[in-house]
Amino acid sequence: MRLVLALLLPWLQFFTIGRPFAGLACLVLQFTLIGWLPAAIWSVYALSQYETDRKISRMTRT
């Protein structure tokens, strides 16, 4: 679900992973039609990093 959100509304996805300042920067980038594609790519990349960080933190807890 977050991947779809990252592609359709990249700025909102940043708020769901706890990065509001990046979300605002992404929103400014998304205001231009040309900036929407880099914003979506950035959002998908940030989501993959977020998932990796969560997996690592789960592994180190046990």
How confident is the prediction along the chain (62 residues), in pLDDT tens digits per residue?
A: 888 888 888 889 999 989 999 999 999 988 887 888 899 999 999 999 999 999 999 988 86
Domain of residue 9 covers 1-36
Answer yes or no: are the C-beta atoms of 14 and 46 closer than 8 Å: yes
Overall domain count for the chain: 1
Is residue 20 included in any domain, yes or no? yes
Please state the pTM of the whole predicted model. 0.82
Is residue 55 included in any domain, yes or no? no
With a CB cutoff of 8 Å and minimum separation 6, the contacts of 46 are: 6, 13, 14, 17, 19, 22
Is residue 4 included in any domain, yes or no? yes
Is residue 43 included in any domain, yes or no? no
Cβ neighbour number for residue 24 with a 10 Å cutoff:
13
Is residue 19 included in any domain, yes or no? yes
H or E element in which residue 5 lies: helix 2-8
Distance CA 17, CA 32 (A): 23
